[in-house]
């Protein structure tokens, strides 16, 4: 049985694509083809992972693709996309349990509709729950670890384990899950009862801040760089004279210099070259090494 047939038998033929352009699965809208792209549900995921590991097939796990830059030559092996088929959100009192493929914005909206406060900061983060837990995503002074109480993961050994949040070593844009090669299946959040109108007002305020300050009209991966200690990446980039600087179709946003945007027709090579130029220029001018928040995958 070939790889495609085996993946189809585990995850369903409708959930397996060959030579699938990753530009369709990243918010940068760039990236070459995945040799195989599989979008399993909760039941199919462990089997897909086990098959790839048994057969030593290169394996890449992604979420909503909102923090990725995929090389123009694509990704060999199997890309597992944890998405809509793993997107359930359940509410029980002040606790929300969300599968890893649920959009963070949807979880935030459900909490708000129920008068629960604590996830307002996540309303504009375009990622999925799994990716957000893995990188302890945050915005506007909030981050995942503020309300996350536990994550259920598939371990490298193939076991499904529920881990309390304190065992995840959550810090700024970090958890220990990548180094352990664990895959998030679902996350549990405990929130606080709040005033529905006040929560709605907070969401409206955050939306206004985002739309006025961020280049949401162009494809990007959000903030391109981590916040360097004692500095703001966007300010350093602007002070370095790089506002609006372009490489091919990639541009340092004129609206917010912390964003690299695809202004149209950008390749991943354009984006990467621009990122490297920004890092080099900021290091030369200010002695600060900017680290990317964006994860690089595949062949460039």
- Whether 54 is a known active-site residue: answer no
- Whether 293 is a known active-site residue: answer yes
Give the C-alpha separation, 55 to 29, whole Å: 31
- Exposed, middle or buried, 129 (CB in 10 Å: 0-12/13-18/19+)? buried
Give the C-alpha separation, 56 to 87, whole Å: 28
Give the C-alpha separation, 262 to 273, whole Å: 13
Which residue among the candidates 223, 253, 261, 268 is catalytic per the annotation? 223
Which residue among the candidates 35, 186, 188, 293 is catalytic per the annotation? 293
**Residue 119: beta bridge partners?**
none
End-to-end CA, the chain: 31
Nearest residue to 39 via CA among 51, 25, 54, 50: 25
Report the sign of the C-alpha dihedral through residues 92, 96, 97, 102, in that order.
positive
CB 89 within 8 A of CB 106: yes
- Exposed, middle or buried, 279 (CB in 10 Å: 0-12/13-18/19+)? middle
Give the C-alpha separation, 33 to 11, whole Å: 20
Among left, alpha and beta (phi > 0; psi -120 to 50; other), residue 19 is left
- Whether 14 is a known active-site residue: answer no
> CA torsion 123→129→132→136, rounded to 10°?
100
Residue 146: other Cβ atoms inside 10 A: 17
Which residue among the candidates 6, 53, 173, 295 is catalytic per the annotation? 173
Q: Which residues are catalytic?
A: 173, 223, 293
């Amino acid at each position: 049985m070939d790889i495609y047939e085996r993946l189809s038998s585990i995850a369903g033929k409708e959930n397996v694509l060959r030579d699938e352009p990753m530009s369709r699965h990243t918010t940068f809208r760039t990236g070459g083809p995945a040799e195989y792209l599989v979008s399993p549900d909760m039941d199919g995921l462990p089997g897909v992972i086990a098959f790839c590991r048994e057969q030593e097939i290169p394996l890449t796990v992604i979420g909503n693709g909102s923090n990725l830059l995929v090389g123009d030559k694509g990704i060999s092996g199997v890309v597992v996309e944890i998405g809509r088929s793993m997107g359930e959100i359940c509410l029980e009192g002040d606790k929300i349990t969300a599968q890893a493929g649920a959009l963070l914005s949807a979880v935030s909206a459900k909490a708000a509709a129920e008068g629960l406060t604590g996830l307002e900061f996540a309303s504009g983060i375009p990622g999925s729950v799994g990716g957000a837990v893995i990188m302890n995503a945050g915005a506007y002074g909030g981050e995942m670890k503020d309300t996350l109480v536990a994550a259920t993961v598939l371990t490298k050994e193939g076991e499904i384990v529920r881990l309390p949040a304190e065992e995840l070593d959550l810090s700024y844009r970090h958890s220990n899950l990548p180094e352990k090669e664990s895959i998030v299946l679902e996350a549990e959040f405990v929130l606080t009862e709040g005033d529905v109108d006040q929560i709605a007002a907070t969401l409206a305020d955050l939306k206004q801040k985002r739309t006025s300050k961020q280049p949401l009209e162009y494809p990007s991966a959000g903030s391109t760089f981590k916040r360097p200690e004692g500095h703001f990446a966007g300010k350093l980039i602007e002070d370095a004279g790089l506002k609006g600087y372009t490489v091919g179709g990639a541009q340092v946003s004129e609206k917010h210099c912390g964003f690299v945007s695809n202004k149209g027709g950008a390749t991943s090579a354009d984006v990467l070259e621009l990122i490297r130029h920004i890092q080099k220029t900021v290091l030369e001018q200010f002695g600060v090494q900017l680290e990317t928040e964006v994860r690089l995958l595949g062949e460039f």
